[in-house]
Structure 1
């Protein structure tokens, strides 16, 4: 979590709160201590309410359709090695309907607003949610 917070700090974004589901990894003392040490408020979604975390749920669906099952893989290691590039493409190169069909970075340029005035979503995944 500290690496993610540092990444956004380099962009000039102050993370005030993080919303997660109720997975064990997000309820752990270590995760919550890392958030508390940075002054970040932790918000949980209600159990069995995936619509409360819709952006992440949509990202999970896109991962499954376009990356995980979008082609045949020679090996699990080969598939796993392509995940960072896919997430980079998803966040910075792929058109999003929420941005009017533009990539996320283009939508921010068009709005001419600094990153800090926008609400950003950190895509975090439990290892169990992505089979590698």
Structure 2
């Protein structure tokens, strides 16, 4: 493809060349007619004589010979270290005694993906999946979050004073944020509960299913990790009563439940730790507005910049 400042397209080059070669125009006249330099007109006329119409296509500007290119033995060393240790250009450069930019070019030349796109355990490219409709699979997980003592924690009072304030109140305890997130739409439902026992998790599932049903989403399957509460008969029985098929991730493979794990990271960054709070009640009061914004207004990069509600039929129109 011609670059954006090219005065001639392949078709224009062919017309210029035919004027010179076939019709006998002087080079200067052809150059003036097509608004290019005398040298450019001569170049395309020469290629037309040599190669015909095929010579009018773009050529790579890469040189035929690069005497200062990194030796093949160094390239192989870079590739071997990348495969064995899964390290980036800076560390590869230090081990191979080359510039980091050179290590990066070697990786690009051999089409090796960035480390961020690889599975940390296997080094293979991450295989991303997405269910085809809302409710087909709902991810469920619990995030444990320290509560804020009245008067504020270390973010408000400083490290020492915040610890002293928490000690005077015998610790503020923990909040257990239970989340159900739809795989297709990323629509999320979260509750702050006092624990993560089997009965609490089962009760949360019942309310989450009702919440999704009110928005036109029928939950068919739920995916959880292998935590104690999700392996008990209470959880299995609740799933059976709701007509839901339970699924579990493979042990030591949290990536399988990564969508809800990523939601919890977003929740911490944009709500829990977004600003200093003087009490846990103040932080909890800010949560409904944040969750509403996440579901209905926040652009989600995993679904082409659209909010989760846009992927649920008519849900955005029902929201006020």
TM-score scaled by structure 1? Answer: 0.72
Q: 1:86 to 1:27 in 2, by over 3 A?
A: farther
In the alignment, what sits opposite 1:18? 222
Q: Which one of the candidate residues 13, 19, 27 is aligned to 2:231?
A: 27
Answer yes or no: is 1:79 the counterpart of 2:311: no
The partner residue of 2:255 within 51, 65, 72 is 51
User: Which structure ranks higher in relative contact order (CA pairs < 8 Å, sequence separation ≥ 6)?
Assistant: 1
Counterpart among 287, 298, 301 of residue 94 in structure 1: 298
Instruction: Provide the residue aligned with 2:307 in structure 1.
Output: 103
Q: Aligned partners of 1:24, 1:83: CA distance in 2, in Å?
A: 28
What SS class does the counterpart of residue 95 from structure 1 fall into? coil
- The alpha carbon displacement at 1:95 in A equals 0.8
Cα-to-partner distance string for 1:12-34 (whole Å, 9 max, x where unaligned): 32211100112223233333221
**Deviation of 1:49 (Å):** 1.1
Root-mean-square deviation (CA, aligned residues, Å) is 2.0
Residues 42-70 of structure 1, C-alpha deviations (whole Å, 9 max, x = no match) = 10111221210111011011111111111
**Number of equivalent positions:** 110
The superposition leaves residues 68-120 of structure 1 with CA deviations (integer Å, 9 ceiling, x where unpaired) of: 111111112211222233222212221101221121223x27xxxx48xxxxx
User: More helix per residue: 1 or 2?
Assistant: 1
Runs of 5+ in structure 1 lacking a partner?
A: 116-132
Larger Rg: 2
What runs of 5+ residues in structure 2 fail to find an aligned partner?
Answer: 1-204, 315-320
Distance 1:86 1:23 in 2: 28
